[in-house]
């Protein structure tokens, strides 16, 4: 039956997130499994194939990737590459007849997101973005409380996400051509998402400013950005992203009370509550829930709750934040 079928996933790009989170999560999934890998580093082929029992015929590199079209073991490709490569591999994956999960941020800009959506539509393949928090019980409660107006209309949202970057100064994350930008692209998308899924609305305007305390490290990308989003209902979200502050909060004030999470966006350990008391939900493996849900969507031909369109909405906001930094003015999203 459809319920018992396990779809094969191939991870593309075997870096920190693929190795540290997605491959372990794929040992816990029910509707999909780690069937293949795509890597540009030959030494990873042997270690991954041994550790995860991946046959040679399911191993590809970026050059021969398109041959995956002939491989019946692979139903879904999961793109875990630097942002600048997301568009190319989404389009190549769809053309190869595979359904696609693409990591956040979806692409370098919203225009590229549209091309990715179009390519998947044309190939009749499903596209989803790696927004794991849509499957995480604490964040799902924030969505419910805000969207159902359990405490009345949401008036303000504080959403901040960041960490103190201590990694390689030459990493792709700090090169604009590969990342599209700094902490806003990497961490800020979660704060933008948070404001969007608490209100259930699309913001109309944004005003942004930035701060740089380590210009030698962040010479090519943004370090800390502060922004204000204005929503159609009148709700306002004050957002922050940073590579120089350990932040991870999402808080909403509504007419009759407030609700919050901290940490909000981490892989686990979510905590928070409302003016009435603490949250107490199960802690789950977010990535396993996310990938199982997508596999079920593919199997049952059901729309995913995190489609490409969802990634593009965030990138429209990101594009407008960068425009506002340039113009120094309030920008229409």
Q: Is 269 exposed, middle or buried (0-12, 13-18, 19+ CB in 10 A)?
A: exposed
87 binds ligand NDP (CB under 6 A): no
Q: Two tokens at 15? A: 């870096």
Q: Is 329 left (phi over 0), alpha (psi -120 to 50) or beta?
A: beta
Q: Which stretch binds ligand NDP (CB under 6 A): 76-84, 145-153, 249-257, 320-328?
A: 76-84
DSSP 135: G
Site of tokens 């959506």 = 117
Q: Choose, from 78, 138, 165, 190, the residue flagged as catalytic.
A: 190
44 lies in the site for ligand NDP, by CB under 6 A = yes
Report phi then psi at 109, rounded to 5: -160, 170
Assess whether 104 carries a catalytic annotation: yes
Residues in contact with ligand NDP, shown as a per-residue x/- string from 88 to 127 under the rule CB under 6 A: ---------------xx-----------------------
The one among 7, 26, 31, 39 contacting ligand NDP by CB under 6 A: 39
190 has catalytic annotation: yes
* Least distance (Å) between residue 132 CB and ligand NDP: 6
Segment contacting ligand NDP (CB under 6 A): 33-41, 113-121, 205-213, 269-277?
A: 33-41
192 and 317 Cβ atoms separated by less than 8 Å: yes
Among 8, 36, 93, 130, binds ligand NDP (CB under 6 A): 130
- Pairing label, strands 205-211, 331-332: antiparallel
Q: Helix, strand, or coil here: 213?
A: coil
Q: How many CA atoms lie within 13 A of 141 on its CB side?
A: 20
Residues 129, 103: Cα–Cα separation, whole Å: 6
- Assigned token pair, 255: 């007419």
Q: Is 175 in the site for ligand NDP (CB under 6 A)?
A: no
Nearer to ligand NDP among residue 18 and residue 100 (C-beta): 18
Binding characters for ligand NDP, 179-218, by CB under 6 A (x = yes)? -------x--------------------------------
Name the residue among 307, 256, 262 with its Cα closest to residue 145: 256
Q: How many helices (H) and strands (E) does the chain have?
A: 11, 15
Residue 279 contacts residue 141 (beta carbons within 8 Å):
yes
Tell whether residue 59 is a contact of ligand NDP (CB under 6 A).
no
* CA distance readout (Å), 122 to 92, 127, 318: 12, 12, 26
Taking the complex as a whole, how short is the minimal distance between the CB of residue 103 and ligand NDP, in angstroms? 4
Give the integer Cα–Cα distance in Å for 30 and 32. 6
Report the residue from 87, 132, 258, 316 that binds ligand NDP according to the rule CB under 6 A.
Answer: 132
- Which residue, 179 or 207, has its beta carbon nearer to ligand NDP? 179
**Of 60, 78, 87, 104, catalytic:** 104
Residue 199 or 287 having the CB closest to ligand NDP: 287
Instruction: Tell me if 176 contacts ligand NDP by CB under 6 A.
Output: no
- Does 14 bind ligand NDP (CB under 6 A)? Our answer is yes
Q: Which of 28, 30, 40, 202 binds ligand NDP (CB under 6 A)?
A: 40
Q: Among residues 265, 188, 193, 203, which one has the least CA distance to residue 236?
A: 203
Q: 254 vs 289, which CB is nearer to ligand NDP?
A: 289
Stretch that binds ligand NDP, among 36-44, 148-156, 193-201, 314-322 (CB under 6 A): 36-44
- Residues in contact with ligand NDP by CB under 6 A are 13-18, 39-41, 44, 80-83, 103-104, 130, 132, 172, 186
Question: Which residues are known to be catalytic?
Answer: 104, 190
């Amino acid at each position: 039956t459809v319920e018992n079928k396990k779809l094969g996933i191939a991870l593309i790009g075997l870096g920190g997130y693929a190795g540290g989170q997605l491959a372990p999560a794929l040992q816990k999934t029910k509707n999909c499994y780690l069937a293949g890998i795509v890597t540009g580093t030959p030494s990873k082929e042997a270690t991954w194939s041994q550790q995860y029992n991946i046959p040679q015929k399911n191993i590809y590199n970026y050059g021969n990737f398109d041959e995956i079209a002939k491989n019946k073991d692979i139903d879904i490709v999961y793109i875990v590459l630097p942002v600048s490569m997301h568009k190319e591999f989404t389009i190549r994956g769809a053309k190869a007849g595979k359904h696609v999960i693409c990591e956040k941020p979806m692409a370098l800009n919203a225009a590229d997101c549209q091309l990715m959506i179009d390519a998947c539509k044309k190939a009749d393949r499903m596209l989803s973005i790696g927004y794991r928090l849509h499957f995480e019980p604490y964040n799902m409660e924030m969505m419910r409380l805000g969207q159902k107006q359990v405490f009345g209309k949401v008036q303000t949202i504080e959403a901040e996400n960041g960490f103190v970057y201590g990694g390689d100064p030459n990493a792709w994350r700090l090169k604009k051509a590969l990342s599209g930008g700094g902490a806003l692209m990497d961490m800020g998308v979660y704060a933008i998402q948070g404001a969007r899924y608490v209100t259930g609305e699309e913001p109309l305007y944004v005003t942004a400013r930035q701060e740089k305390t380590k210009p030698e490290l962040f010479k090519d990308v943004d370090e800390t950005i502060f922004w204000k989003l204005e929503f159609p209902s009148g709700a306002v979200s004050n957002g922050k992203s940073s590579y120089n502050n350990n932040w991870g909060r999402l808080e909403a004030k509504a007419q009759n009370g407030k609700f919050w999470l901290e940490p909000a966006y981490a892989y686990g350990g979510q905590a928070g509550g409302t003016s009435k008391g603490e949250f107490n939900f199960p802690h789950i493996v977010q990535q396993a829930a996310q990938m199982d849900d997508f596999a079920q969507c593919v199997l049952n031909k059901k729309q995913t709750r995190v489609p490409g369109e969802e990634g593009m909405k965030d990138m429209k906001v990101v594009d407008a934040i960068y425009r506002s930094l340039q113009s120094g003015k309030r920008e229409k999203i």
